[in-house]
Structures are given as C-alpha cells and as structure tokens.
Structure 1
C-alpha cells in the first residue's frame, strides 16, 4: 500500500472511519454477541441486589491477582497469534519476490523461444491463486484455473506441487536442449524450489494449531473472572458500564487471537491473499509484455 494510506490512518480525523470499518469486522461481531450476554447477566445481578438486597462479599485482592494473571496470559496469547499471522505475511512476501525474480530472469534468456518464456511466466502467475485456494478449502476456484496455460488433470490433489513440477520440467527441457547453461539453470531452479518451500511453510502454519490446552485455558479463566467480578461490586450504572467495557476488551483480545491464528482464511483480519495474488499477476503481466 502507498505511504499516503498509512499516513491517513494515523490522522485523528480518520479514526471515525476506522471505527466504522472495525464495526463490520468478524472480531467486532463475535465480541459484541458475547458482551451482550454478559450485559444481560450483569443486569440480572443488579436486579437481584436492588430488589432482594443480595450481594456476594468477595475479597478483591484475589480478584486483582486473578485479573493480573489473566491479562498476562491474554498478552502472551495475542503475541503468539500475531506471530503466526506475521510469519504468514512474510512467507507471502517471499512469494512475491520469488515470482518476480523468476519471471524477470526467464524473460532475459536469449536462447529460449519467446512463447515458451511467456508460458513459464503464466504458470508462475497461476501459482499464488492456486496456493491460496489450497490453503483455504483445497478446491481450486474457476477463476484460478483460468490462469493456467493448460488444464490440471482431475486426479491431481496437490495443485501447487503439480505447478512446481511443470516449472521444473520446463527448466530441465531448456537445460537439455542447450537453451540454458548450468549457471542459468541454477539461478532459475532456486526460485522454483522456493515456491514449494513457501507452500510447505504455509501448510505448517495451517496444519499446526496451538495446543488445545493452551487455547482452552484462557477462555475458561476469562469466563470465571467475568462471572465473579460483577457479583462483588455495587449495583450502579457506572459499574455496569465499566464492567461491559472490561468484558468487551478482554473478550475482544481472545477473539482477535483466535482470528489471527488462522491467517489464510477469508475473514476481515486474515491476510489479503486475494489482493496479493492479483498484485503478483499484475507485476508478472508487465514483465511478460515488456
């Protein structure tokens, strides 16, 4: 994105627009539902206190300690989830670089027929689209298949590996017929190898969720904390509003961590794989047509 975009996001005048965008996000929708349930629970507790005079006497020194431990765990969980998201973004940044380098080098070889070079670039254009589909539901979209220079056989289950095989095969053909020397072949081979390295790294993130105990402990602790806290405070409007705000941010951090742990999906906080794939296509089209 251009620098002007980030400068605009930092301006106070744009905070309202950013909040409006967040209101449409998956995190906001999931958090709001949980907070509404919590708000009903708090209101019910206040009604019980006001009409029946019943309120639990809770030692808040213990609650303060529990809140501190929970806050620390939420920070660690958020950092862990963001690390997965950021690693995914770095991997796709590597895909952008290797795709461009592969196309740039292919188009400079004088002994390779122009049509064959353009065909190799077309395979490279299709790769990010089909890798994106592979990481989501594993079913290639029609728009992704349309980028291929030739159809993929129906029996192929791992399409990114098939595309890499086609690229390796093309390089071997050029090397065998003398169109590429050993150095040129090596320079191209490392970029094609990087494509499968990228695919493997993405599959590692997708197929290795955080341990179940790690994911289950924090929601349980958060639930206990939010259930107990309203029972020991005075039933006032101020306390109700503060409790709702506390629940919103605590639940929001947990929901955000859950979203960031799976960076290759289609939610608003997932990586923009559609846009990255289109950017690669735009760059490679320019390289091929110059």
Structure 2
C-alpha cells in the first residue's frame, strides 16, 4: 500500500461510521453529559455550597476500571479470533474433502456433483445454524427446492448435511469401487468439519458470564455518575464536555467487549463475514467440479524424462560440484 493510501486510510477510519462503536453508544454518552450539566447547574445555583469532591478517588478507580475493560475486551477478542480460525479450518477442510472426492472417488458424474454440492452446502448450513435461520437462497440454488426444503425442516441442518455426505461416501465405497484408504481419509475430513462445527456452536452458546458483565457496568455507572462531582470544582462549565469525553471511550470499550463475544451474529459489531466465506467455498468447489483435471501432464525433456526429473538431475550435479 502506498504511503498516500495509508494516509487516506487513516482519515477514512478516523471519521468512518461503519464498524465504529460510537453510533451505538452516542445516546448513553449524551445522557451522562446531560447529568453532568445538571450537576454543574445545581453547583452554580447553590451559592455558598459546593458539590465538588476530591478527584483523587476517581484516578484510582479509573485505572482499575480501565484494567477490567481491557481484560474483558481481550476475552471477547479471543472468542472472535477463535471463531475466525475455526472458519478458516472449515474453508480448508471443505476443499480437502472436495479434492479427495474428485481425485479418488468414482468417475460417476452424478455422484461427483452430489458430493461437491452437499459439501458446498455444509458451510451454509453451519452459518444458518449459528444465526438461528431456516432459509437460504444459496442452499436452494445448490441443492434444488425439494432437497433444500427437507434440509430446512430438519432438526439440525449441519448434521443432516454431514449424514448425507457420509451416505454418498459409503455408496462410493460399497457400490462404486472407491479405495478404502481414500474413503477413510474423506471420512476423517468430514469428522474434522464436525469438530469445527461443534466448536463454533460452543462459542455461540457460552458467552462470558453475565455476572462479570453486570458488575463491570455497575462500576461504569458509578464512576461516570460521580465524575461530575469531582470535576465541577476544577473546570466548572466544562464539566459536561469533559464528562462526555471520558464516557465515550469507556462506553465504547464496554460495547466492543460485549459485541466481540458474538462473532457469528450478523448484526454484531464487526461480525465475521460468514456470507462471504460460504460464497468463497461454494465458488471454489463448483469450479473444481467444472474444471475436471485442469493441468496437462508434465512435458518431457529432450532426454526422455520429465522437466521435473531433469531439474532434479541438474540440481544433483550442481550439488556434487
């Protein structure tokens, strides 16, 4: 990336709205600012009596609050990153399963198309299950209306797809002469996909403890409510502005830490791009099905061997000298 593009990216991200937590916490910031303005107004009206308290306790409390927020944000990011790694594994394992089916499976065109289409449907089924959805035009286009409707009506869509893929592999082994070792390897890839699916479901169903989130938010509320009393004697009418400037990053970190706990939810802040990942898997697998064997055999060299063999011989001679 050129330096000019990097500079432009900096300003785009500074003033950007998409992906930012500010729009989600703006109302809360304004509420705390309004409360600070009320405290300032009362302090100004109460002649001879000040609402000001020492700022020292807030310095200590602010450091403790910042540490708690960072720890929770890191915990949320760990869940987000684990989800991303799991989906990276789903991308790789579906490719492995598709390549093994096409390279070592039977040559029957109908079987090859079925196993590739059901393998491409598996990430869609995982995505729908993680988002509690029961319909997808992509799945309908892959499998056809009747098969897709049966899938949407199943108890667990991902299990149903895995069962269908297992049936296709068993049919290839028992009826179409698929090699036993290739069958075992394909089954291992299918089992790894089920492991990734289960890990994603674990992340979705077990967010960070609610008590942890409740106590941190109570701490935030107490800190920001008492902050105007610590500032009013020092900066007076600037108290509402400074209170909002302090509240914005605190509330943003709180929101980010909460949103990162749910990496698969489409409406979550910076949710994982599951739709794009599923489309990428589908496109790659269907391209392999249509391509057949895309590479020609290695060209022989003048001595009758392959180019690769000639290169190895040349490398051996260079090493010997």
Distance 1:151 1:85 in 2: 30
What does residue 30 of structure 1 align with?
A: 24
- Normalising by structure 1, report the TM-score: 0.90
Equivalent position to 1:67, from 62, 71, 76: 62
User: CA 1:285–1:20 in structure 2 vs 1: closer, same or farther (change >3 Å)?
Assistant: farther
**Superimposed CA distance per residue, residues 196-247 of structure 1 (whole angstroms, 9 cap, x where no aligned partner):** 1111111101111211211111000000000011112134454443321210
What does residue 285 of structure 1 align with?
A: 286
Native 8 Å contact 1:91 1:202 kept in 2: yes
Is 2:151 the partner of 1:151?
Answer: no
SS in 2 for 1:266: coil
Is 2:260 the partner of 1:243?
Answer: no
Which deviates more, 81-90 or 136-145?
136-145
What does residue 218 of structure 1 align with?
A: 216
Is 2:88 the partner of 1:131?
Answer: no
Which deviates more, 253-262 or 99-108?
99-108
Native 8 Å contact 2:102 2:289 kept in 1: yes
- After the TM superposition, list the runs of 4 or more consecutive aligned residues in structure 1 that deviate by more than 6 angstroms: 7-10
Which deviates more, 152-161 or 75-84?
152-161
User: CA 1:92–1:110 in structure 2 vs 1: closer, same or farther (change >3 Å)?
Assistant: closer
**Superimposed CA distance per residue, residues 31-73 of structure 1 (whole angstroms, 9 cap, x where no aligned partner):** 1111011111111122222232453342333222211111110
Distance 2:108 2:220 in 1: 64
Native 8 Å contact 2:36 2:239 kept in 1: no
Which deviates more, 274-283 or 217-226?
274-283
SS in 1 for 2:103: coil
User: CA 1:87–1:9 in structure 2 vs 1: closer, same or farther (change >3 Å)?
Assistant: farther
Distance 1:177 1:9 in 2: 62
| Contiguous gaps of at least 5 residues in structure 2 | 292-321
What does residue 259 of structure 1 align with?
A: 259
For this pair of structures, how many residues does the alignment match?
284
Distance 1:26 1:37 in 2: 19
Distance 1:19 1:126 in 2: 39
Distance 1:281 1:110 in 2: 19
- Normalising by structure 2, report the TM-score: 0.82
Distance 1:11 1:216 in 2: 39
Equivalent position to 2:36, from 31, 42, 67: 42
Native 8 Å contact 1:46 1:235 kept in 2: no
